[in-house]
């Protein structure tokens, strides 16, 4: 069941057609005609979870366990290694239950090695032992815990009871000595939820907002018995979540994801207060449709555009980019 679902998530993601808007287009950045920088001066390196990475880009959680997951994870991990950027694996619940699925996760660490960053992934109901085992299996640097009530409700076989998840997260925080990242899966994290998480000790949140991968549609394609189209536009757009979460204390490490597709999206995310941007669906599309070379060219394009934008803002490095002034327009202005 779990294995089939993993395959269907990838296949159905590639079939989705609904286009959401993360509202990063409503962020206005002012052009600097006198940048006083050379293109070669632009430094995109940054510190993430205690290690230096070359670009503020995370290959975000997608897969592991299905028959073709190993190939996908091999390619994604090779990209992560080549660009020196972190990678999160997909949910490891299947690896805890089915021994023969483990290699598709382990391969990620084997390729990335100890110098890079590998992140584990489990759901909000995972036990402390599950967390320990998931981290140990791939010797990961951190653990992502995904919150996905909307996705679960859209699944016929999904959870219906979400009681006790924050208590559970607290016990994982109290008992696991690796960084814990709380993320959504594309419906976003509100300021209130982030505050609740912050108050129990969470210091890393990936907003995983609305505007990219749409699990309401992905699950609806798996379960056509119910028509969920009225909920395809459910969720907090990534730009809204970023601006709202940045009002929380500065020691909250914010990751921007949800519809991040371009260098402009990455640059704007950082201006709005993220330390790094996660990409899932768009990278998967390039990989599945065009292979490794195409996925690599896509990441190179993101990086090149990011460097262009940094120069045109007169920002030499990521710390300077974070201090860029911005204006909001349109729907984003209405929602914040
Ligand atoms: C995902 N995502 C995901 N998230 C997670 O925490 N655990 C998981 O196992 C998965 N599985 C998964 C499969 C597929 C095929 C996709 C496309 C996505 C969600 C992902 O990490 C991310 O939060 C959302 O996809 C939003 O980002 P994008 O895709 O809009 O860049």
Instruction: Measure CA of the first residue to CA of the last residue in the chain; give whole Å.
Output: 41
Structure tokens at 3: 């294995």
**Residue (of 195, 193, 202) closest to 169 by Cα position:** 202
What ranges do the domains of the chain cover?
Answer: 2-25+53-299
Phi-psi region of 65 (alpha: psi -120 to 50; beta: other; left: phi over 0): left
- Per the listing, tokens 């949140």 go with 205
Half-sphere CA count of 207, side-chain side, radius 13 A? 37
- The ipTM of this complex is 0.99
Q: How many Å lie between the centroid of ligand 1 and the Cα of residue 122?
A: 12
Give per-residue pLDDT as tens, 126-151.
999 999 999 999 999 999 999 999 99
pLDDT at 1 over 90: no
Q: In CATH, which superfamily holds the domain spanning 2-25+53-299?
A: Aldolase class I (3.20.20.70)
> Is the minimum distance from the CB of 261 to ligand 1 under 6 angstroms?
no
The pLDDT of 2-9, averaged and rounded, is 90
Give per-residue pLDDT as tens, 264-275.
999 999 999 999
Three-class SS of residue 204? Answer: strand
Sorted by sequence, the CB contacts under 8 Å of residue 244 that are 6+ apart come out as 190, 191, 194, 336
> Is the minimum distance from the CB of 315 to ligand 1 under 6 angstroms?
no
Give per-residue pLDDT as tens, 199-244.
999 999 999 999 999 999 999 999 989 999 999 999 999 999 999 9
Which of 208, 219, 261, 284 for mutating ligand 1's site (highest number of atoms within 8 Å of CB)?
208
Residue nearest to atom 6 of ligand 1 (CA): 146
Dump the DSSP string for 205-230.
EE---BSS--HHHHHHHH-TTS--GG
Helix (H) or strand (E) holding 180: strand 180-183
> Is the minimum distance from the CB of 302 to ligand 1 under 6 angstroms?
no
């Amino acid at each position: 069941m779990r294995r089939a679902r993993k395959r269907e998530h990838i296949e159905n993601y590639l079939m989705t057609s609904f286009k959401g808007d993360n509202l990063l287009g409503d962020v206005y950045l002012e052009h600097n005609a006198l940048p006083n920088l050379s293109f070669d001066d632009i430094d995109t390196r940054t510190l993430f979870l205690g290690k230096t990475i070359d670009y503020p880009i995370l290959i975000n959680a997608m897969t592991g366990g299905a028959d073709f997951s190993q190939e996908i994870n091999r390619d994604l991990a090779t990209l992560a290694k080549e660009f020196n950027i972190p990678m999160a694996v997909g949910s490891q619940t299947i690896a805890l239950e089915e021994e023969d699925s483990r290699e598709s996760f382990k391969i990620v660490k084997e390729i990335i090695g100890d110098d890079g960053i590998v992140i584990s992934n489990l759901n909000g109901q995972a036990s402390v032992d599950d967390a320990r085992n998931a981290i140990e299996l791939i010797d990961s640097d951190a653990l992502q815990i995904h919150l996905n009530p909307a996705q679960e409700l859209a699944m016929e076989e999904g959870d219906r009871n979400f009681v006790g998840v924050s208590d559970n997260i607290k016990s994982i925080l109290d008992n696991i000595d690796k960084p814990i990242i709380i993320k959504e899966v594309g419906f976003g994290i509100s300021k209130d939820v982030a505050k609740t998480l912050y108050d129990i000790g969470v210091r890393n949140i990936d907003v995983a907002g609305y505007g990219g991968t749409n699990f309401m549609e992905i699950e609806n394609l798996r379960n056509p018995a119910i028509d969920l189209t009225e909920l395809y536009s459910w969720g907090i757009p990534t730009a809204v979540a970023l601006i709202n979460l940045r009002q929380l204390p500065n020691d909250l490490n914010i990751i921007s994801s949800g519809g991040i597709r371009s260098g402009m999206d990455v640059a704007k995310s950082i201006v709005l207060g993220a330390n790094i941007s996660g990409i899932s669906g768009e990278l998967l599309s390039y990989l599945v449709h065009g292979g490794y070379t195409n996925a690599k060219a896509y990441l190179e394009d993101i990086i090149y555009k990011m460097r262009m934008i940094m120069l045109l803002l007169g920002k030499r490095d990521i710390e300077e980019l974070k201090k860029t002034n911005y204006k909001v327009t349109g729907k984003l202005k209405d929602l914040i």
